[in-house]
Amino acid sequence: MAEPGNPISAMTRLRNYFLTGVIVSAPLAITAYLAWTVVHWVDSWVKPYIPSFYNPDNYLPFAVPGFGLIVALVMITLIGFLAANFIGRSIVSFGERLLGRLPMVRGVYRALKQIFETVLSNRSEMFRTVGLVEYPRKDVWSLVFVAGEKETEINARLDREGDPLVAVFMPCTPNPTTGFLMYVYRSEITILDMTIEDGAKLIVSAGLVAPGYKRKLVTADGDALEVGLVNPAVEKVSNLRFK
């Protein structure tokens, strides 16, 4: 609200409206652009292999975007269906044995298969927790994704009694797909309540998009009380003033 005697000029109002429009429309436009780019990329790979008789682009005066993506989804689902039955499992096992005899290919195939099985499996406990570790020095904290505790040679050699080593992934800003794998003692990890998605947003935005959190108060008896959800982004926008 403008103070008496200091009205907001028309140009300031127009600039505020423009900046508000950018904040609202830019994420929508970028999301639509990325989705459209992915659709066209899949179409460019799949459509050349579709027989001309089944390709609607040969009958219509315009190209049908997304048709290649639909065909790819149907084919992948069909492959999964065939691989789930006895005959399909036999074919897959034969192909894996064949790849297992190739010196260089077998290592790449096994590594990729294990990664996809771990990431896509519903039983996976990988990257379900966000934490903080003191890195690269004391009193400087870095955000990490906790991979979980697994029995490995590293744990067997370096575990302390009652304080096991935990694999954590420290992503880089602004690209969370790159980073460092580190083994940290569980007692040195501060676990956060934020989700993996919120942690990724914090990484990508370089700390500008902070997730909401619940303030907690402790009573005299030591019981925790949740005061309510605090969203730093909402508070910042509500107090926003363009000058």
Task: Give the pLDDT mean for 16-39.
Answer: 88
Position 152 in a domain: yes
**DSSP assignment of 125-156:** -TT-EEEEEE-SSTT-EEEEEEEE----HHHH
Position 173 in a domain: yes
At 238, is the pLDDT very low, low, confident or very high (cuts 50, 70, 90)? very low
State the Cα–Cα distance between residues 24 and 3, nearest whole angstrom. 27
Position 202 in a domain: yes
pLDDT of 204: 86
State the Cα–Cα distance between residues 200 and 196, nearest whole angstrom. 6
Q: Residue with structure tokens 């947003």?
A: 201
Closest CA to 242 of 80, 53, 2: 2
Exposure of 50 in the CB half-sphere (CA atoms within 13 A): 21
Cα Rg of the chain, angstroms: 26
Position 185 in a domain: yes
> How far are the Cα atoms of 59, 125, 140, 159, 166 from residue 150, in angstroms, in the given order?
56, 10, 27, 12, 8
Position 151 in a domain: yes
Q: Which residues contact 129 (CB under 8 A, 6 or more apart)?
A: 145, 146, 191, 192, 196
Tens digits of per-residue pLDDT, 110-169? 888 877 776 666 555 567 789 999 998 888 999 999 987 777 788 778 878 878 888 899
Listed range (51-55, 59-63, 196-200, 211-215) with the worst mean pLDDT: 211-215
Tens digits of per-residue pLDDT, 86-109? 777 888 888 888 888 888 778 888
Note down the domain range covering 167: 129-209
Residue bearing the bigger pLDDT, 243 or 166: 166
Number of domains comprising the chain: 1
Position 180 in a domain: yes
